[in-house]
Amino acid sequence: MVKSSVKNQVFPTNGEVVQTYDALNPERIGERIDAADSAYADWRSVTMDERGAYLQEAAAILERNKERYSGLMALEMGKPIRDGRAEIEKCALLCRHVAESAAEMLAPEIVPTDARKSFVAFQPLGVVFGVMPWNYPFWQVFRFAAPSLMAGNAVLLKHASNVPGCSLAIEALMHDAGFPPTLFQSLLVSSEQVQAVIDHPSVKAVALTGSKAAGQAVAAHAGRRIKKTVLELGGSDPYLILEDADLDLAVDACAAGRLLNSGQSCIAAKRLIVAAVVKEDFEQRLMKKIKSVKMGDPFDEATEIGPLARNDLRDILHRQVRKSIEHGARCLLGGEVPDGKGYFYPPTLLTDVRPGMPAFDEETFGPVASVISATDEQDAILLANNTNFGLGAAVFTRDIKRGEHIAAEELEAGNCFVNAFVKSDPRLPFGGIKGSGYGRELSHYGIKSFVNIKTVYVA
């Protein structure tokens, strides 16, 4: 039968096609899901120790092949090679943490009642379907897959169409680690075929990391089938730099938080809300910091900013920058598409950004930092919360109690940091609110996202 090809694998550094992959024949999708369900029937009875041993081996394989995997990410989506190495190392750390902690996190919880015995048990659901993005091609997959497998589920992966090599590499890695071949499968299917996978009765839940539009479509379809979803969507993270902030610390954190992964991160530092009395000083320091960042070939060890993953993403980002300037923002640095091959966009600093501008209202997925002036603390908090997103937020102040109060009580986001840029940690839950999604990944909250939380009552 004729197969339709998925999107060509394109090297973002020069725009050239590297390889073309064939999509999974639609008639085979059901067969793959049935095979995953059969594998799950056996896997759910495998001991935690045995599951953990496979995951520990996956961590070892990740570390042994770190150079190959980081090179694959550089090739497919332009990630600087040193960022790729860090991503692989974090995946290995996650695998080990989950392997060592899952038994405790999923241990039955005794609840005293008037029964002879009552407790909460945690049992797997079945086949979990993951729809994953390209910006962290390994981390995003392991973040949902490792806990799901340790909980006793089977996993199907639909990765972004521009990282098919990463998708297949992860599948091979998991099989080499000892997981049954049909327990973890990479499905090279199109976005249009996602609904068919969700429709299959053996698919019990869906995890999606991606855009708000993708989340809405998947959640609506899964909801009609009464299937659980966990959504991690976009963000427009505010960073509050108060009048008493350590500006050197704040600048370093904001630059790192904005430019990491070439700015292509849901939890990047996108809206820098600065107390008016320190705004000019902060801007000058940040501009100096950003100017020193090296943009170039992702395979170059010195490169800190690579190309954006696709040309259409660069076009969208540039339109957001130009439209914000048309509405009154000032561009202090960057803001122009460079000549030459590849999907590069320079580190860009906008100031005088206000609500109503794309740089304030929308998610800017690239190395564009937006400075917003705040009159005082309450104004900064109001500006921070004036968004449809709610993924991450940070506050910078020398008064730790003040910062902790703002982070814990005032900011509307799922991950709030004090004097540090927002990042995920296997030990802490990760997820958002509002337009940034719902549900949690990582920690004991994440591993319980795809289990049956069962009450057992013995009279």
- Among the listed residues 424, 433, 418, 393, the one whose alpha carbon sits nearest the alpha carbon of residue 273: 393
d(CA 334, CA 327): 17
232 in catalytic set: yes
Query: Smallest Cα–Cα separation from 418: which of 440, 389, 398, 432?
Result: 398
Instruction: Reply yes or no on whether 266 is catalytic.
Output: yes
Catalytic residue among 91, 166, 254, 266: 266
Q: Diameter of the chain by CA atoms?
A: 75
Find out whether 167 and 296 touch, Cβ atoms under 8 Å.
no
SS (H, E, C) the chain: CCCCECCCEEECCCCEEEECCECCCHHHHHHHHHHHHHHHHHHCCCCHHHHHHHHHHHHHHHHHCHHHHHHHHHHHHCCCHHHHHHHHHHHHHHHHHHHHHHHHHCCCEECCCCCCEEEEEEEECCEEEEECCCCCCCHHHHHHHHHHHHCCCEEEEECCCCCHHHHHHHHHHHHHCCCCCCCEEECCCCHHHHHHHHHCCCEEEEEEECCHHHHHHHHHHHHHCCCEEEEECCCCCEEEECCCCCHHHHHHHHHHHHHHHHHCCCCCCCEEEEEHHHHHHHHHHHHHHHHCCCECCCCCCCCCECCCCCHHHHHHHHHHHHHHHHCCCEEEECCCCCCCCCCCCCCEEEECCCCCCHHHHCCCCCCEEEEEEECCHHHHHHHHHCCCCCCEEEEECCCHHHHHHHHHHHCCCCEEEECCCCCCCCCCCECCCHHHEECCECHHHHHCCCEEEEEEEEC
Length of the chain: 459
Q: Is 427 exposed, middle or buried (0-12, 13-18, 19+ CB in 10 A)?
A: exposed
**Cα distance between residue 223 and residue 103, in whole Å:** 30
Catalytic annotation, pick one of 57, 76, 87, 232: 232
Catalytic residues: 232, 266
